[in-house]
Amino acid sequence: MVSDDDRPFRPRAARVVSLAVAGLVVALTAALLLAMPSLGWLDRAGFVVVGLAIAWFCWREAAVVARPDATGLVVRNLLLTRRLAWAQIVSVRFGQGRPWVQLDLDDGDTLAVMAIQRADGALADQEARRLATLLAARTATREDD
């Protein structure tokens, strides 16, 4: 059973805006093709490819997510998905000026978690705290104070 703390992290504002822009781009591409019947097939194909590429990018932005479970965290950003064990995550950072949460990893690398975005305001701060609390709970040992 999934606990309330294990629910996925998802952006709110970026998701709504991205899906709206994707829908608008598809509708405007179709309207443009209908309004300009004299375009050749190559021009039409170009408009369709560009419109679909923009819509795909917007869909990917809307689909970013971080899914916690008992063993770790799966972070799906724009282009890459990465699975991390809780032990690989050293800390969660979300200071002022950061557009999204950043994880410090045990190999010295960092990983952005685009699912928790500054644009969501107080909700983003709350979700960053939830992620940090999950990390602390999942990495606690008997020697922890």
pLDDT in tens, the chain (145 residues): 446 678 999 999 889 999 999 999 999 999 999 999 898 999 999 999 999 999 999 999 999 999 999 999 999 999 999 999 999 999 999 988 889 999 999 999 999 999 999 999 999 999 999 999 999 998 876 665 5
Dihedral of alpha carbons 117, 123, 129, 133, sign:
negative
Q: Which tokens go with 29?
A: 């591409």
Closest CA to 88 of 74, 100, 72, 102: 72
Q: Are residues 41 and 89 in the same domain?
A: no
Per-residue pLDDT at 142: 64
Backbone angles phi, psi at 106, to 5 degrees: -70, -15
Per-residue pLDDT at 1: 44
Q: Structurally, how many domains does the chain consist of? A: 2
What is the span of the domain harbouring residue 43? 13-62
Q: Which tokens go with 21?
A: 């822009």
Asked whether 121 and 134 are in contact (CB, 8 A), the reply is no
Question: Can you tell me the distance from the alpha carbon of 82 to that of 122, in angstroms, rounded to the nearest whole number?
Answer: 26
Q: Are residues 48 and 69 in the same domain?
A: no
Task: Tell me how crowded residue 7 is: count the other CB atoms within 10 A of its CB.
Answer: 12
Q: Does residue 128 form part of some domain?
A: yes
Per-residue pLDDT at 16: 93
Q: Does residue 145 form part of some domain?
A: no
3-class DSSP state for residue 62?
helix
Backbone angles phi, psi at 40, to 5 degrees: -75, 170
